[in-house]
Amino acid sequence: MNVADERTKSCWMEFPLPRRRALHGNMEADAVVIGSGIAGLSVAYELAARGRSVIVLDRGGIGSGMTARTTAHLASALDDFYSELIKSRDQSTARLLHESLAASIDRAEQICATEGFDCDFARLDGYLFLAPDTPREDLHSEFETCRGLGVAVVEQRGIPLGGMSNVPALRFARQARFHPLKYLAGLQEAILGRGGSLYANTCVTSVEELDGTVLVKTSEGHEVRARDAIVATNSPINDHVAVHTKQAPYRTYVVSGTIPHGSLADALYWDTLEAYHYVRLQPWSDRDDLIIVGGEDHKSGKADDGEERFGRLEQWARARIPQLKEITHRWSGQVLEPVDHCGFIGKNPGNDHVYMVSGDSGQGITNGIVGGMVIADLIATGANPWSEVYNPSRKVAGSLGEYLTENLGVAKNFAEYVTPGDIDSLEKLKPGEGGLYRKGLHKVAACRDANGVLHTRSASCTHMGCVVHWNSLEQCWDCPCHGSQFAPDGTALNGPAVTALADESKLAVEAG
């Protein structure tokens, strides 16, 4: 199981990837990749293309993690702004980061062309436009910074969205979009075609570096030995502190609906709000395109009002896109925000043969494609020109303020163990409702699933013990600390947690 078992479904999930079987024995390969989203399959593809034998393992279906919930803007513009990145890192890092993002779009285009993928890849302009009540100077300063970095951008007035003929905006050239699951389907076939293997429904529980090799164990007791392992589980399952203290999880929301084909310029659109709106088109039928509108982000586990957020997104879209017809899909997902605005790609801190890709922010698709290029180079030659930008072992002292703020969030979460719960009677819980109650020194997570079955589990996240919060939209438990998610019955759906929330009856024994 993974996040595919949560309640909402994206427009991409109407194109499911072919099913693969689970691992049924022990195996060996040059490289074992854990996770089959954009990051895992990009790494596996690049390694297979360099002649390495590759095994991919995923605890859910292939390609059914956060990549199935994305909106797949392929942008070399930086959603957190290059001007902010220079404050937390430096000019040279910003230049290299831009180079890597632009190269990742080129790489996706090249792979689509050489492998013959039919995945709706298209080059487009991207418009960053001023949102009401946000400072105009920030937009201009981003323009000046981008020009200094050599980014292809122009400052202009007006964008194609309704009522915005005079809005200040930046137009970035050579951005792109694709259908993420059609792209992953192509990668999967290409990996298989080069002798790689992929196993679904295979949960990895440990990744251990031995003398010059790596041993990966699964929950079913099988083992894979390889020279190198790559943890591409979105939120790393093998790391407790080094990276998790440098990023924080946010939930983000999307609605999509039909508009007549050709009635809006095919482009990427983003506004300047902190929880910014992001908009793109997707070819859908002979008559209609889909317009896909995202935003309304909040720190994971800190709000449980998904329906209201969908309502606000639809209202925002209808005010600017009057040609919007019926809403077809509504979904949410989670992104991980690194405190210094760069993802984490490279050797897992403390290891020589274990690598990782994480820290996607709103640009995890390009981050994943960069991950493929960087890790394949590091494994094959030991070097890549962008490796220092993304080095998971880097210090983040430049962003100390934000870093501390995010970690205070973790401290605040632990304080929840002594607060009263938010439900007083299990009988009153209706199907789809959940909440916390206190039992001695413990918090219990109680919910009644859609079928009316009551589940009571320990509310203590099995990663590092933070208190989980009920998400009534997705019918799951979200951990605000590092992004784990759990099904109503406690099964782990999203990393870094691997094991289920503990049985509440066992808590009573320990507490007593």
Ligand X SMILES: Cc1cc2nc3c(=O)[nH]c(=O)nc-3n(C[C@H](O)[C@H](O)[C@H](O)COP(=O)(O)OP(=O)(O)OC[C@H]3O[C@@H](n4cnc5c(N)ncnc54)[C@H](O)[C@@H]3O)c2cc1C
Least CB distance to ligand FES at residue 249 (A): 8
C-alpha radius of gyration, the chain, whole number: 22
Tokens 């251990």 locate to 208
Of 80, 84, 337, 360, the residue at the interface with ligand X (CB under 6 A) is: 360
Q: How many residues does the chain have?
A: 512
469 binds ligand X (CB under 6 A): no
Question: Strand, coil or helix: what is 297?
Answer: strand
Contact indicator for 293, 259 with CB cutoff of 8 Å: no
Q: Which residue is nearest to ligand X (CB)?
A: 364
Of 226, 293, 335, 354, the residue at the interface with ligand X (CB under 6 A) is: 335
Q: Which does 483 bind (CB under 5 to 8 A by kind): ligand FES, ligand X, none?
A: ligand FES
Least CB distance to ligand FES at residue 484 (A): 4
The CA-atom distances, in angstroms, between 32 and each of 27, 121, 229, 356, 464 are: 10, 28, 5, 12, 26
Q: Which residues contact 135 (CB under 8 A, 6 or more apart)?
A: none
Least CB distance to ligand X at residue 219 (A): 8
Q: Which residues contact 250 (CB under 8 A, 6 or more apart)?
A: 297, 298, 299, 300, 334, 335, 336, 337
Least CB distance to ligand FES at residue 274 (A): 23
Rounded CA-CA distance 140/393 in Å is 33
Number of shown-chain residues binding ligand X (CB under 6 A): 43
Q: Which residues contact 211 (CB under 8 A, 6 or more apart)?
A: none
3 binds ligand FES (CB under 6 A): no
Of 40, 63, 483, 488, the residue at the interface with ligand FES (CB under 6 A) is: 483
List, as one string, the DSSP characters of 322-377: TT---EEEEEEEEEEEETTS--EEEEPTT-SSEEEEE--GGGHHHHHHHHHHHHHH
**By rule CB under 6 A, what string of x and - marks binding of each residue 289-308 to ligand X?**
-----x--------------
216 binds ligand FES (CB under 6 A): no
365 binds ligand FES (CB under 6 A): no
List, as one string, the DSSP characters of 188-223: HHHHHHTT-EEESS--EEEEEE-SSSEEEEETTS-E
496 binds ligand FES (CB under 6 A): yes
Contact indicator for 510, 458 with CB cutoff of 8 Å: no
20 binds ligand FES (CB under 6 A): no
The CA-atom distances, in angstroms, between 35 and each of 137, 222, 231, 364, 508 are: 41, 16, 7, 14, 35
Rounded CA-CA distance 113/111 in Å is 5
Tokens 């929330």 locate to 501
Q: Which does 333 bind (CB under 5 to 8 A by kind): ligand FES, ligand X, none?
A: ligand X
324 binds ligand X (CB under 6 A): no
Task: For the beta carbon of residue 43, count every other beta carbon within 10 angstroms.
Answer: 30
Q: Which does 96 bind (CB under 5 to 8 A by kind): ligand X, ligand FES, none?
A: none
The continuous run of DSSP H or E covering 148 comes out as: helix 136-149
Least CB distance to ligand FES at residue 128 (A): 32
Rounded CA-CA distance 168/122 in Å is 25
Number of shown-chain residues binding ligand FES (CB under 6 A): 12
CA atoms within 13 A on the CB side of 114: 9
89 binds ligand FES (CB under 6 A): no
234 binds ligand X (CB under 6 A): yes
Q: Which does 482 bind (CB under 5 to 8 A by kind): ligand X, ligand FES, none?
A: ligand FES
Give the residue with the Cβ less far from ligand X, 247 or 366.
366
Question: Contact region for ligand X (CB under 6 A) — 365-373, 405-413, 415-423, 429-437?
Answer: 365-373
362 binds ligand X (CB under 6 A): yes
Least CB distance to ligand FES at residue 480 (A): 8
Question: Contact region for ligand FES (CB under 6 A) — 100-108, 265-273, 476-484, 499-507?
Answer: 476-484
481 binds ligand FES (CB under 6 A): yes
Give the residue with the Cβ less far from ligand FES, 84 or 239.
239
Which conformational region is residue 477 in: left (phi greater than 0), alpha (psi within -120 to 50 degrees), or beta?
beta
Give the residue with the Cβ less far from ligand FES, 186 or 490.
490
Two structure tokens written together for 446: 């109680």
Q: Which does 481 bind (CB under 5 to 8 A by kind): ligand FES, ligand X, none?
A: ligand FES
Question: Contact region for ligand X (CB under 6 A) — 80-88, 116-124, 330-338, 388-396?
Answer: 330-338
96 binds ligand FES (CB under 6 A): no
Does residue 496 have a cis peptide bond before it, meaning omega lies within 30 degrees of 0? yes
Contact positions vs ligand FES (CB under 6 A): 461, 463-466, 479, 481-484, 496-497
Sites of contact with ligand X (CB under 6 A) = 2, 34-40, 57-60, 64-67, 69-73, 203-204, 232-234, 237, 252, 254, 278, 294, 333-335, 360, 362-366, 368, 495, 498
